[in-house]
Chains A and B, each alone.
Chain A
Amino acid sequence: MNLSGAEILVRCLQEEGVEHVFGYPGGAVLHIYDALFQQDQVKHVLVRHEQGAVHAADGYARATGRTGVVLVTSGPGATNAVTGIATAYMDSIPLVVLTGQVPTSLIGNDAFQEVDNVGITRPCVKHNFLVKDVNDIAETIKKAFYIASTGRPGPVLVDIPKDVTDPKVKVPFVYPDQIRMRSYNPTVKGHPGQIRRAVEMMLAAKRPMIYSGGGVILGRAAEPLTRLTRQLGFPITNTLMGLGGYPASDRQFVGMLGMHGTYEANMAMHHCDVLIAIGARFDDRVTGNLAKFCPTAKIVHIDVDPASISKNVKVDVPIVGEVDTVLQEMIRLLEHEGGQPDGEALKAWWAQIEEWRGMNCLRYRMSDEVIKPQYVVEKLWEITGGDAYVTSDVGQHQMWAAQYYRFDKPNRWINSGGLGTMGFGLPAALGVKTAFPEAEVVCITGEGSIQMNIQELSTALQYYLPVKVVSLNNRYLGMVRQWQEFFYSGRYAMSYMEALPDFVKLAEAYGHVGMRIEKPGDVEGALREAFALKDRLVFMDFQTDPTENVYPMVPAGAGLNEMILV
């Protein structure tokens, strides 16, 4: 059967099992929207700003593990999407972003709503394509989904000129069963000899430490990670992106590491003799000063991306492969060969770690007068049974969410770790709710971040996406204010927000429920009330302590053992 380019595109999405597309129509994609309109297998969520579309698809992808799909028009539609694409790129999130382009005959002519989408996005996509021939659509889309979701995942952009989707030009449609690319063959299995070396090193360790990251979540490897960690009895820390990869309420979990990591996690990193890095990339927010990083450790590093290995920190046993496969192989080796870790040494190591844990570095002073942001997150954890999908924006509230909401399951913690994109939280939450309508979805945000994509409250109403917004409103751009307090002698340059809107009225204006909470005694009641409203989006505006800081903190340039505690 012959189909138009637009029809082919929609058929490709159907073939890929795509259920939801997040997007915004415009001139260059009208043919595609017309084809979408004439079927009901692929549903479209109309956002209010293209950045929101990408974050929503991104949240959808992070929660489900499937590839998120975005459809936007040429020119401003595509440029608005760029921040979202870069966000997904930095966190290795599989997305296929379809952008409209001016007709091929006009490309390069500075036509209306023309911009070089492929050029603009080149540094922030895993790959991108310009489709110049209707006959190439099917294969290109197949490649896009394949590239986005395999190896180290990432966003793939497909730029489609308007004439390529012309309804009058019809060609045969065949969707390829599979795709083979001579230039793209991600490594799946780790090298058996390296895996064996790593296991030997782990068993010989006196002070071992497991450090796992977002690769465990992306690689669906939480289960083998948990099994291996328990089998070995080693302490484990998760990066910001890796939270939920190991149950946070388990005794072996020593908390998040890095700039705002726990005292015990950072101290254990600093003093360990064997570090097992799993799906993590030694980001500067994790390592602190590289010259002082893990000075006494031999390092094993498992990652699907060879370029992540020995990029920042030279490792002793590199293993390139899918985390899941490699961990399974390690478990198999341990079970078959009956190796045991050094129990005596481990006992002494745990005694030391418990001493560090005894510092209780996440304690904070409660107040009867003013709401402590940490308290709100702790109560939220209690009330949701620790089982909600939590998205966040970027800043202090993000760190408090990471520290105080204990994630026991993977894919529940959804935040912009690499790029640090304010405005991510709300649209991401809508994406998660689209995927899991029955699940409890919470966006933890602040009054600064939420205003960067607050228009998506309108999308939430149109598509009945009753998420809960927990805004920790301290009237400051809190993380900026914190750095200004510590490192700029308290000169709070432009970090105070005057003339904030009345968020209660704003929520109501968008058709939702708004609540303003000012007293610590009201926090729990308000949360219970909000979560009882199952079918409503509730915007909770918590007036929190403006002077509260995120602790512990490893200042820039310091080693992980040089934390500022409360």
Chain B
Amino acid sequence: MRHIISILMENEAGALSRVAGLFSARGYNIESLCVAPTQDDTLSRLTLVTRGDDQIIEQILKQLNKLIEVVKVQDIEDAPHIERELMLIKLQAAGADRDEVMRLCEIFRGNIIDVTETSYTAQLVGPGEKLDAFIEALGRIPVIEVVRSGALGISRGPRGMTV
């Protein structure tokens, strides 16, 4: 099963490598990993997507909690939540393709953020499947480059993940 795990950890050098090292040392997989500071500048929030059966996910959560710099761990699949991912995608677009790219962007609620005579760069936000669907829909339009942030997640409702 796919799980999105949110981690609040001390904003200190080396904390990220402890998380990454734990996953490689124990043979857990990481599908994506995203880390940035929070509104509290002593804390970083790390979101990672992993796969495993219940026992493995339970071990992952426990092992993460054991890391000294980890303050809080949550499997956000446990409650209603929202998942988003950002994609920047550079496409070859000349002639009739230019209109087609524009149309697709509109359908997928994306924006064109850079333009040249032969290319468009689009920005799209959504759950991972939506971004996959966009790439699929491009069909024969050549993709030059794809940059994806990995999934971010947040719980629904007024309560937040705090220390």
Nearest neighbor of A122 in chain B, beta-carbon distance: B21
Question: Would you give the shortest CB distance from A351 to chain B, in whole angstroms?
Answer: 38
CA distance A307 to B61 in the complex (A): 9
Q: Contact between A183 and B9 (Cβ–Cβ < 8 Å)?
A: yes
Beta-carbon contact of A307 and B63 below 8 Å:
yes
Interchain CA distance A118-B12 in the complex, whole Å:
13
Residue A1 is within 8 A (CB to CB) of chain B in the complex: no
Q: Do the beta carbons of A307 and B25 come within 8 Å of each other?
A: no
B68 touches A184 (CB 8 A): yes
| Other-chain residue from B13, B18, B62 in contact with A306 (beta carbon distance below 8 A) | B62
CA distance A311 to B68 in the complex (A): 20
Complex-state Cα separation, A209 to B55, whole angstroms:
25
Interface string of A511-551 (1 = CB under 8 A from B): 00000000000000000000000000000000000000000
The answer for the CA separation of A557 and B15 in the assembled complex, in Å, is 38
A144 to chain B, nearest CB (A): 11
Query: Which chain A residues numbered 182 to 232 have a C-beta less than 8 Å away from chain B?
Result: 182-184
**Complex Cα–Cα for A130 and B13 (A):** 10
| Interface-centre pick from A126, A130, A307, A310 (highest chain B CB count, 10 A) | A307
Q: Assess whether B71 is in contact with A123, with CB atoms less than 8 Å apart.
A: no
Nearest A residue (CB) for B163: A182
B37-73, CB < 8 A from A: 55, 58-59, 62-63, 65-66, 68-71
With contacts A126-B68, A183-B70 taken as known, whether A311 is within 8 angstroms of B25 at the C-beta atoms is no
Q: How many residues of A contact B (CB 8 A)?
A: 18
B26 to chain A, nearest CB (A): 9
Q: Are B71 and A307 in contact (CB-based, < 8 A)?
A: no
Which partner residue on chain B sits nearest A183 by CB separation?
Answer: B71
How far apart are the CA atoms of A258 and B42 in the complex, in Å?
A: 47
Judging by beta carbons under 8 Å apart, are A183 and B14 in contact? Answer: no
A142 lies within 8 A of chain B by Cβ:
no
In chain B, positions 1-33 with a C-beta closer than 8 Å to chain A are 9-10, 13-14, 17-18, 21, 25
> Does A127 lie within 8 Å of B68, measured CB to CB?
yes
Number of A-B residue pairs, CB cutoff 8 Å, is 35
Nearest CB to that of B15 among chain A residues?
A183
B58 touches A310 (CB 8 A): yes
Contact of A183 among B13, B63, B69 (CB under 8 A): B69
Across the interface, A122 reaches (CB within 8 A) one of B10, B18, B58, B62, namely B18
Chain A residue with Cβ nearest B71 = A183
- Docked Cα-Cα span, A314 to B54, in Å, equals 12
How far apart sit A130 and B68, CA to CA, in the bound complex (Å)? 14
**Complex: A123 Cα to B18 Cα, angstroms:** 8
A311-B14 in contact (CB<8A): no
CB proximity of B126 to chain A, nearest CB, Å = 33
Known: A118-B14, A122-B21. A311 touches B66 (CB 8 A): no
A123, B21: Cβ atoms closer than 8 Å: yes
List chain A residues, Cβ under 8 A from B58: 310
Contacts from A to B (Cβ < 8 Å): 118-119, 122-123, 126-127, 130, 147, 181-184, 305-307, 310-311, 314
Q: Which 8 A-B pairs have the closest CB atoms?
A: A307-B62, A127-B68, A183-B71, A123-B25, A306-B62, A184-B68, A122-B21, A307-B63
Q: A123-B25, A307-B66, A310-B58 are in contact. List 9 more A-B contacts (CB 8 A).
A: A122-B14, A122-B18, A123-B21, A147-B68, A183-B10, A183-B69, A307-B59, A307-B62, A307-B63
A-B contact pairs, 10 of them (CB 8 A): A122-B14, A147-B68, A183-B10, A183-B68, A184-B68, A305-B66, A306-B62, A306-B65, A307-B59, A307-B66
